[in-house]
Amino acid sequence: MDFSDLAKMKEMMGQARQMQEQMERKLAETVVEASSGGGVVSVRMNGKKEVLRLKIEPTAIGSAGSDLELLEDLITAAINEAGRRADEAMKASVSDMMGGLKLPGMS
């Protein structure tokens, strides 16, 4: 391996680092929303799958006989759907960034 190969390798590593930094920014900037129970529970999540906001309509807890287990299920469903949407948004973003290049595990 000569110095030109090392220089090319260093350049490639720099480009990979830049792409990783760009992806980290994109993850933080991507925001998705999902709801369940006809909008009774809604979740806002970023591309890092951090929950940014959880909203529960007062009607979900307003009645004395409200079902806590049902509310827990609605929250779980909304969070899981937001996670799926975040995954889809990031796959599309990576695909755009890579110019349609097919990478293993990113199908």
User: Residue 56 — left, alpha, or beta (φ > 0 → left; ψ -120 to 50 → alpha)?
Assistant: beta
Task: Please tell me the predicted confidence (pLDDT) of residue 21.
Answer: 87
pLDDT digits (tens, 9 = 90+) for 15-71: 888 888 888 888 888 899 999 999 999 999 998 899 999 999 988 876 545 688 888
Instruction: Spell out the domains of the chain, with CATH numbers in brackets.
Output: 28-96 (3.30.1310.10)
Task: Please tell me the predicted confidence (pLDDT) of residue 36.
Answer: 94
Instruction: Report which of residues 94 and 11 the model is more confident about.
Output: 11
pLDDT digits (tens, 9 = 90+) for 94-104: 777 776 555 55
- Note the pTM of the prediction, 2 decimals: 0.70
